[in-house]
Structure 1
Amino acid sequence: MEKLHLEQLYNFRDFGGYETTDGRRLKKGVLYRSDELSHLTKKDRQTLQKLNIKTVIDYRSLKERYGNENKDFGQKKTFYLTPIADIAALASAEYGEIDMEDQSKLTPDLVEFLMIKQNQTFVTDPHCKMVYKSMIEIYLNPDNGKIVQHCRGGKDRTGYGVALLQGLLGVAKKDILKDYLLTNLYKKEKNQQSLEKIQEETGNSSLVKAISYFKKADTRFLGAALNYIEEYYQSIENYAKRELSITEKHIQYLKERYLESNEKDKNE
């Protein structure tokens, strides 16, 4: 799907269209991911309203949402799912929001370590498992209609949630990572402006590089989660069955709902 031209939304996209390992394809126009939906202009709301999204999954913490609630664009339901994601929240924060003491400790190596650890936490932490199990269950309920899932930057918490869903639908790892990396394209200008401002204010190139690791999608980060799943469970399907209580019947239903039919594929 072509990128929507939105004024105050930088990482919104349809994550359908990818081919699956069995030769089918994710439907377009039903699966969306985004950064936070709290700064939408009137024009943005009108643009989103045309998509007829019924349900929002918001991974942001209560602290992140306070005074910063999503704007109304016609959605009917919002599910607040909060994984243990202090690092992801820090990664999506603006520089001025980061505590001075934390700033002084940030190095590129530390941030790289923290981002890898955060993604592994999504996989292994019991509370995170509960959160992402709930996410999948939202997609299993047809009453929820078209769904958008988002966090603050639309990269880490959302990136992992989308990766799980795409994996269950049969999208190959290379395409899951390809979709994740689109954040770098969509937020390139915004991130560049932010990093230039930090360089001007601090003159600290090491700090700028460290914060750039927070802001960018890096295959080492989401890859840490996917590699862990591969190593210990062989596949996302096996992981979801063993750790999230998702059944084969659930997976087949997701495929029926979100994959184009074979008949349609043959006609195209």
Structure 2
Amino acid sequence: MAEEIASLLSVAAPTALAQAEGVGTAALTGTALPLENIHNLRDLGGLQSRDGRRVRTGRLFRSANPGLASQADIARLQTLGLDRVIDFRAPQEKSAEEGGFADSFDWLALPVQEGSISLQELLPRLQGGTRQDMDDFMLQAYRDFPVRYQAAFAAFMKEAEAGRTLLYHCSTGKDRTGFATLLLLSAFEVAPEVILANYLESNHWNQRLIQGLLARLAPLGIAAEVAMPLLEVRAGYLQASMQTIEQEWGSTADFLRKALSVDVECLQANYLEEGAG
């Protein structure tokens, strides 16, 4: 599957990106759950595997940071029956205002990129860098995901292997969360074009978040053009992860089994069901 996704990224990505950035929802995958203060919240339920089975609805949710959830958001999430919330953020990304959500759910911290994306480090990069600098930064981050952060992603996959109902997130729900979703959907043998579309849709669901972040960065002298590589997803970023996996392990299947020790059959039994019709 690594080769198929890499090929798809290079050939079909512009079309998929245009669909994901559009305002229509016909091409969107999964099910979005619009909330007041939580962006990019989506249920993977309904996505189809190659053999016709579908991901069970209400079992796997991806999102941006839920820490600043409103009381209405918390009440809505409490209806989902979450067993655990997986947090890929580093400690430096968290704020003191997140207590209400954290007290309401069972959290597990699995930090990825610890320290490298703290505000103290990113501000000088943004203020003194170019768009290309930030693009290179993101490409390297994606190359690092399967190599430097195997322990965190292996622990995440073990949570899924246990059959738990999960909400997993990072700050904007697109990069670390996007890579984690790639791992899950690859294990479920979801078609490469669907995996790519689901990844790129963060650009659609994060539009309001992106505009708010750009407004906060402008007074600091940071141009939107320089900041955008950090704020949006691009096909080339996921391609960087896939190329690393292919170079080091040959395929996503081998990466899951050999590097992360994932029981793929167990995952499929936990989350896939026979499709309708």
Normalised TM-score (structure 1): 0.83
- Who is 1:134 aligned against? 155
Structure 1 residues 36 and 72, CA gap change in structure 2 (3 angstroms): same
- Who is 2:227 aligned against? 211
2:273 is the alignment partner of 1:252: no
Q: Where do 1:1-150 residues align within 5 Å?
A: 1-69=30-98, 71-72=100-101, 76-87=105-116, 89=117, 101-125=124-148, 128-142=149-163, 145-150=164-169
Deviation of the 1:13 alpha carbon:
0.8
Deviation of the 1:85 alpha carbon:
4.8
Percent of paired sites with the same residue: 25
Contact 1:53 1:74 in 2 (8 A): no
- Who is 1:174 aligned against? 193
Deviation of the 1:203 alpha carbon:
6.9
Instruction: For residues 149-198 of structure 1, give each alpha carbon's deviation from its aligned partner in whole angstroms, at most 9, with x where no partner exists.
Output: 01111111111111111111112222212111111111112312432554
Aligned alpha-carbon RMSD (Å): 2.3
Instruction: For residues 12-43 of structure 1, give each alpha carbon's deviation from its aligned partner in whole angstroms, at most 9, with x where no partner exists.
Output: 11122222222322122111011111111111
* Paired letter, 1:218: R
Tell me whether 57-66 or 67-76 shows the greater mean CA deviation.
67-76
Q: Distance in 2 between matches of 1:172 and 1:235?
A: 15
Q: Distance in 1 between matches of 2:82 and 2:157?
A: 17
* Alignment counterpart, residue 203 of structure 2, candidates 180, 184, 193: 184
Which secondary structure does the structure 2 equivalent of 1:149 belong to?
strand
- Who is 2:6 aligned against? none
**Runs of 4+ in structure 1 over 3 Å off:** 68-76, 97-101, 196-199, 201-204
Q: Distance in 1 between matches of 2:255 and 2:35?
A: 36
Tell me whether 173-182 or 66-75 shows the greater mean CA deviation.
66-75
Deviation of the 1:228 alpha carbon:
2.1
- Who is 2:242 aligned against? 226
Normalised TM-score (structure 2): 0.81
Contact 1:85 1:118 in 2 (8 A): no
Q: Distance in 2 between matches of 1:85 and 1:218?
A: 22
Contact 1:16 1:26 in 2 (8 A): yes
Structure 1 residues 66 and 173, CA gap change in structure 2 (3 angstroms): same
